[in-house]
Amino acid sequence: MTKVGIMGAGRLGTIIAEAIKAGLAPECELIGIASRSLGVTPFDLADRGAAVIIEASKPEVLREYLVGLLERGVSVIPLSTGAFADEGFLEEVKEAARRGGSRVYLPHGAEGGFDLAATFSLLPGMKGTVVQYIPERAKMPDGNPMKALPESFKGTALEGFALSPSHLNVVIESAIACGGFENTMYETRIARDGRGGFSLELENDAAEAVITIKNKPPVKGIPMMSMIALSAVSTLNRITQPVTF
């Protein structure tokens, strides 16, 4: 069994912990959750033998611990991937992983299709576009971060991310999957069907693809947040199960 720890027990971290406890990551055992209130740090989880830590806290916390964890040989599945918009930090992280023999595994978060994006990026002419569908503002509850986004924006991944760094982690992880910030764009479009979501549009000199994920109205109380949280659990399965893809 692979020993797993969690950093951050808020909305996503709680769903992830419950999923692992319910057996959705059958090759893994949850050994602890880092918590400021209990005085447990991610390094304590490493000392207890965690081989993988799932991060669901915030970008500043990821920045504080990631390099140290990787150097200790602990692999990390980060959700606060906006931290990698700083390319200098991303390079530091790669070096730390090489030194520690560990890895950073990016989950697909709110989007998908990273395996296909990685293949597309191996051929000339690669261009990736993250499209965010924005429902009509009047129908969005107050406090929804999408309310602050422009309805028809087009720019580079980093320009898009700058519009709302706390909510556009997905743009950064997609850009890494697409092979770099320079060939990845971000666009917003009005959701004519009223449902928020994302498409990842891929193109190179050989092919084109579009992978779309759209919110359903919550059925049986399952919010879209569960899909994002479970992307970390499916990533855990991908790196621990005997037959993987």
- Residue 34, Cβ neighbours under 10 Å: how many? 25
Say how many C-beta atoms besides its own lie within 10 A of residue 128's C-beta: 25
Task: Tell me if 57 contacts ligand NAD by CB under 6 A.
Answer: yes
Task: Rule CB under 6 A: say whether 196 interacts with ligand NAD.
Answer: no
Q: Would you say 121 or 231 has its CB closer to ligand NAD?
A: 231
Spatial separation of the C-alpha atoms in residues 237 and 230, rounded to whole Å: 10
Contact 84, 76 (CB under 8 A): no
Among 170, 175, 178, 233, binds ligand NAD (CB under 6 A): 170
50 contacts ligand NAD (rule: CB under 6 A): no
218: CB partners within 8 A, 6+ apart: 224
For residues 121 to 150, the per-residue mask of contacts with ligand NAD, x marking binding by CB under 6 A and - elsewhere, is ------------------------------
Shortest CB 92 distance to ligand NAD, Å: 19
Site for ligand NAD contains 54 (CB under 6 A): no
DSSP assignment of 77-119, as one string? Answer: EES-GGGGGSHHHHHHHHHHHHHHT--B----TT---HHHHHH
Residue whose pair of structure tokens reads 């992880």 in the numeric block: 173
Q: Name the DSSP class of 40.
A: B
Give least dist CB 22 to ligand NAD, A: 18
User: In terms of CB distance, is 10 or 194 closer to ligand NAD?
Assistant: 10
x/- map, 64-83, ligand NAD, by CB under 6 A: ---------------xxx--
Residues that bind ligand NAD (CB under 6 A): 7-13, 34-36, 56-59, 61, 79-81, 109-110, 166, 169-170, 173, 228
